[in-house]
Amino acid sequence: MTQSQEIYSEAENDAEAQKINSQKINQSEKNAFAEAVKNEATAVDNNNPDMQAFQSETEAHWENKFLELQDQFTRLAADFENYRKRSRDEQSAAVQRGSENNILALLPVLDNIERATKTLTPTSDPSALFNGFSVIQKQLFQFLETVDVKKINTVGQPFDPKLHDAVSTMPNPDYADGIIAHEAQTGYSLQNKVIRPAQVIVSSGPPESHIANETNTTPEQSEVTAPNPFEQKTV
């Protein structure tokens, strides 16, 4: 680099430094001016009675507003807690009334059972005993209907795990595979909700021997074959 180039480069660097320093000075002057304006405005506000009054009124207004909202919140919280207690008491009273009504509807059935047991003797007529308990059973079912309790259909119906509980499966000539052939215990539903599934025996289809006999029997043989009195008939 020649001497003239070095002199030019140094001059250029000095000019750039002066520019940077000038920018810093300008920024400092701006910051100082902004701070002075802010301090002056604050001094004006502090020395202005109207402004001080406005600030006091504003602070008082928002303080009163806060206290008002706080009071409303406290009242709402108390009202909601009272509502919860009242609703809980009303629900308990409704459940108690429902239980009382159900017991009152069941008492006549218990009265008949008590009368029947008082009249039972070792020499009681079995037919009269059967009729008496049939009447009691009918009353019980009538009571269950009043509280919307229904029996679950079983025999002849397709097995439904939502309604039925399969205790076993076995071949049955009268029912196809998956059809309920026997009810071991009655199931009940309350307002269409299963409260006890029915215990059932599900058919696995006709036995193989029965299928083979039907397959090997010709139309001519079926016309002359005598009926089997022990064969189970379809209900």
| pLDDT tens per residue across span 76-89 | 999 999 999 998 88
Q: Which H or E run includes 148? A: none
Whether residue 58 is predicted with pLDDT greater than 90 in this model: the reply is no
Average pLDDT over residues 46-53: 65
- pTM value is 0.50
Which pLDDT belongs to residue 23? Answer: 57
β partners of residue 164: 198
Average pLDDT over residues 11-17: 58
Which pLDDT belongs to residue 41? Answer: 57
Which pLDDT belongs to residue 136? Answer: 87
Q: How would residue 5 be classed by pLDDT, with cut points 50, 70 and 90?
A: low
- Tell me the C-alpha to C-alpha distance, in Å, between residue 177 and each of 90, 171, 186, 197, 200: 51, 8, 21, 20, 14
At 41, is the secondary structure helix, strand, or coil? helix
Average pLDDT over residues 212-222: 51
Which carries the bigger pLDDT value, residue 156 or residue 112? 156
Whether residue 16 is predicted with pLDDT greater than 70 in this model: the reply is no
Q: Which two tokens stand for residue 166?
A: 């399969």
Helix residue ranges per DSSP H, 126-175? 126-146
Which pLDDT belongs to residue 234? Answer: 42
CB 139 within 8 A of CB 110: no
Which pLDDT belongs to residue 12? Answer: 60
Interstrand relation of 188-190 and 149-151 (parallel, antiparallel or unpaired)? antiparallel
Which pLDDT belongs to residue 221? Answer: 45
Give the residue among 104, 103, 192, 111 at the shortest CA–CA distance from 150: 192
Which carries the bigger pLDDT value, residue 84 or residue 46? 84
- Of 79-93, 97-111, 137-151, 213-227, least confident by mean pLDDT is 213-227
CB 170 within 8 A of CB 204: yes
According to DSSP, residue 159 is labeled P
CB 206 within 8 A of CB 171: yes
Phi, psi of 203 (to 5 degrees): -75, 140
Give the residue among 135, 136, 73, 138 at the shortest CA–CA distance from 110: 136
Which carries the bigger pLDDT value, residue 210 or residue 130? 130
Q: Give the model confidence (pLDDT) of 126-136 as tens digits.
A: 888 888 888 88
Give the residue among 231, 19, 206, 190 at the shortest CA–CA distance from 98: 190
Q: What is the mean pLDDT of the chain?
A: 77
